[in-house]
Amino acid sequence: MTPRRLLTLGAEAALVLVVASLLLGQVLGTPVLLGYVETGSMEPTLEPGDGFVAVPAAVAGDVEEGDVIVFRAEELQGGGLTTHRVVGETERGYVTRGDANPFTDQDGDEPPVKEGQIVAEALQIGGSVVVIPNLGTLVTGLQGAFTAVQQRLAVMTGSRALLGTQGLAYLLLGLSALLYLYDVVAGDGEERDRDRDRSRDQGFSPGLVVLVLAGVLVASATAAMVVPAGTQQFGVVSAEFASENPTVIEQGGSTTLPYTVPNAGVVPVVAYVEPGSDGVAIEPQRVRVGGRSEATVEMTLSAPPETGYYRRFVTEHRYLALLPVPVIDALYEVHPWLPILAIDVALAGAVALLGLVVLGGRRVRVRRRSSRHNRSTWRRLLRYLTR
């Protein structure tokens, strides 16, 4: 493989990683590897449209004063993800502020930020945020272009399936197929003068085939474990009187509600349901849910002696039951992400072993006719259009 080809493959892999991270972040509603800001509240650290490396909260560790965090705001700009700096901590949560703002978020209507609201931290080196200039501007432009193409195709085909995130996935899949087809045809054109007797050495490397299959399986398994999990918020009112509404609790009292853990997949899962804030108790905190079924745990919400509205959080982690439960328990005690890593490694290893048994060392070849005159009309047309 030539250095030029290696450079091209490296650039394609980097582009795929960036696009996949941003698309996955939209689907999950949280930054994945990369994030960006849209307003000037973090100037001069982050200008509007600048990007940053987003470290998931589960990996970043404890939040400290000076950290730039991404959290789910309640009131700021109508709610949603907000990127601001932590400037203090109280018993109720963290105090945050945009670098360009003269007042903290909590000086307004935003309550203190709790651990369950934090989804990521901006990577800092030497106390400075690692900035990717204009990443958000590029992403916004690409999103606008894709949206315009989606709308045009939806009008032409009369199908709404091409709109939204699902339609974007269809569009990217189609573009990837076209690029792959072009690469195959162009590559065939470059090699048409080579000796046809070398066809035994052509084809896809078995390692590459196994890598692709393992990547698809691992990505699907990770999504099945990550997407349904996360933090759920429950609002309770501490009132001076009892109420039939289960979330309106007499001050100093508590109420017990069912918390359902569904499993829409066919593979059983092990779910851990834990309190994400004070005023919450869960029993039991671990359940095994069979395929196409659901399990229920008891969630007890408590109201403080002071009247008012309070937020309670429940954190859920789930893992495919492909490892013994004691092993998942031990890994989970170390870090919630370790079971995902172990399951992904086990799946990738199983695919690699299967590929070794089935393929051996043989290359996966696509047979081609040796005569140029025997090419189909379709391939000759493709060659003409890409010449």
Instruction: Please answer whether residues 69 and 96 qualify as being in contact, where contact means their C-beta atoms are separated by less than 8 angstroms.
Output: yes
- Burial grade of 113 (CB within 10 A; 0-12, 13-18, 19 or more): buried
Ordered by where they begin, the domains of the chain are 3-133 (2.10.109.10), 224-358 (2.60.40)
Question: One digit per residue, pLDDT tens: the chain, 387 residues?
Answer: 577 766 766 666 666 666 666 655 554 555 667 788 888 999 999 999 898 988 877 777 789 999 999 998 888 877 778 999 999 999 888 999 999 999 999 998 888 998 878 888 999 988 899 998 887 777 777 667 767 776 777 777 766 655 655 555 556 556 655 655 565 555 555 555 454 444 444 555 656 666 777 777 777 788 778 877 878 888 899 999 888 899 999 999 999 999 999 887 788 999 999 998 889 999 999 999 998 889 999 999 999 999 998 989 899 999 999 999 999 999 999 988 899 999 999 988 888 887 777 655 555 454 444 444 444 555 554 555 445
Cβ of 196: how many Cβ atoms within 10 Å? 12
- pTM of the shown model: 0.56
Q: Tokens representing 356?
A: 């070794």
